[in-house]
Amino acid sequence: MKKRIIAVVLFVVMLFSFVGCNSTELGFVDIVKSILMLQDFTFEGSLSLNIKTLETNELPIVYDQKNAKASTKAMYDPYASIKDMVKNMALVYSGDISKTDDKMAFSIGIKNGKSPVNTIIKLILSDKTLYISRAFTDAYGLDSTTYETMGGTEYAQFDVDELITKYIDSAKSNVTNEPYGYPDFNETNKSNDYIDGYYSGYENGLQDGYFDKTTPVVAGPADFSLGYDDGYTLGTKDGAAQKVTYDNNIAQLDTLGQQLKDNISSSKLINNMSNIRSALTKGLDALANMLFQNFSLDLIKIDDTSSYVISTKTGTMLDAVKKTALYLMDNIELAKATAKTIMDSLTDEELTAIGVDPTTRDKINADIDKITAPEENDLDSAKEQISQQIDQYKSMLGSFVKLNTRSSLEKIGLNAFDNETVISVKTLANNTLPVTVDAALISKLSINKELDPEISATDTLTILNPNSVRIKISVPDSSSYTVGILLSTDEFFTDCKVIKATTLDENGDYIITLNDLDPHTNYYYKTFTKDETGNVIYSSDYTVIRTVPDVAPVNPPTSDSNPSIPLAITFGLIGIVSISRKRKTAKA
């Protein structure tokens, strides 16, 4: 049990070991949070393998020992096909997540050297309609009655619920709907008549128990009848049990089908992603501002291109794990408080999105409270054990392999980011592994790569009455863009409404009017602009509207008591107590 607990601790440490308190680490966390808060974004990336060496160390027996090793490796290279396959090849992917348009798109393909990408499949999910590139559906025999061309690609159109129904029906057809098996029967010291009767009775009983019917008794000698009765009793029991199992399997498939239908639509998937991102953001906030407020690994650096870079070697990574593990063990109460803060901050929807039943929230908090720090002597012993185990792993890995990683993250525009991660593995000479390896896995990811940072909107807020406001949005050449706002009652915009502007004033500015705002409520909004190619830019800040309670304050706020917004004097009288703008600063 202790080893299992230690393994869990190490796993958690690996997940959060880069969160710290110095300015560079906090800047890195802010960029990660800004990515997590994106509502609409495009992405493209690639995965490739650079294999310099991949050879077997297990050679077949040869009879000519002269230059045997070199000649045998030349003739016997089981990995040659792998090296040839991945040489100059990359798996490429791209996609588009749009809450504004309620659409998700994804494509995947193969690229060899400088040749054009060979697209394998393109997918678009819009509400409950799934579009699959026709080249893929034709190749794999997926028939559709409707086809549509979008962006130069012909797609076969499918209804998601109908696809799910076909999938579930196919799965049901593969579940055996008849009894099967033989009795567990010891024939020792049994007459042939008894044995024949037993098997005959069992077979009939199996059918009767499964299909809930009664088969006439087969007549025979006394021993046959005795065996028949015994076999029939066991058969009906086994048949009924198999029928229960079949019914449960069918019910589980029906439940799965309904769950898939309930959860697979573009809006629900996008909302679920938003909840996951929001949960991660809240977790990062708590870790950076509570648990690791006075802790730093100093692993994150800023390079000459203003990218955040994390570079590790085998020893560096394990040293960081050890340092973080020992810190957690010394600060168990702070870790408990942080865990409970995260748990209490998550909404029911966020908990569900990360796979936690919201009804277990209180139990999880109670279980966290039950965690107690070891006594001082036990704590020292546990810390020593963790240190020794990590040092052993470090020594063991260092004896046969070099494992290096480098990951960079850069903000290249208003809502645009680049990431590149390289993981290299090189086995050392005379290692005991079955292969000799010198290779690297390269991952590249760009988010909103093509967005123009100049396409942005400016907005002006006007109070109409205690529960209504007007938002004016100005953009250059307004006819070229779709313009609107995201409106939410939480600053993470996890459950937000997309409101597109459809009204233009005499100056060509877009107008959005919000009516029937709830009293005593914080509303958050941010503007967005979408160009003709589908690129979306969100404002880098959001506006907070705080409505007053139903009863207006006796003494309305003044510019001295609420200096952040001069107009708050007027707003306090009519229903909006303050409006403030929170800016998220980051290099463009």
Tell me the per-residue pLDDT of 234-244, one tens digit each, with 9 for 90 and over: 999 999 999 99
Check pLDDT > 50 for residue 585: no
Span 400-430, pLDDT tens digits: 888 999 898 988 877 889 999 999 999 988 7
Check pLDDT > 50 for residue 582: no
pLDDT at 452: 53
What are 69's two structure tokens?
């090793």
* Residue 74 CB contacts under 8 Å (≥ 6 apart), including other chains: none
Check pLDDT > 60 for residue 558: no
Span 12-50, pLDDT tens digits: 444 444 555 567 887 888 888 888 888 889 999 999 998
Instruction: Quickly state the pLDDT bin for 215 (edges 50, 70, 90).
Output: very high
- DSSP assignments along 404-470, one per residue: EEEEEEEE-SSS-EEEEEEEEEEEPTT-SSSEEEEEEEEEEEEESTT--TT---EEEEEEEETTEEE
Mean pLDDT of the chain: 82
Among residues 538, 347, 528, 447, the alpha carbon closest in space to that of 35 is found at: 447
Among residues 47, 16, 114, the alpha carbon closest in space to that of 442 is found at: 47
Amino acid at 293: Q
C-alpha distances (whole Å) from 43 to each of 103, 134, 308 are 14, 23, 19
Among residues 27, 145, 105, the alpha carbon closest in space to that of 411 is found at: 27
CB atoms within 10 A of CB 1: 5
Superfamily of domain 458-583: Immunoglobulins (2.60.40.10)
Helix (H, G, I), strand (E, B) or coil at 543: strand
Q: Helices 314-330 and 332-345 sit at what angle, rounded to 10 degrees?
A: 90
Span 102-157, pLDDT tens digits: 999 999 999 888 788 899 999 999 999 999 999 999 999 988 999 999 989 999 99
C-alpha distances (whole Å) from 250 to each of 161, 213, 262, 509 are 18, 21, 18, 58
Kind of pairing between the strands at 435-447 and 308-312: unpaired
Q: What is the pTM of this model?
A: 0.71
In contact, 51 and 86? CB cutoff 8 Å:
yes
Distance, CA of 259 to CA of 358 (rounded, Å): 18
Residue 481's Cβ-count burial label (10 Å; 0-12, 13-18, 19+) is buried
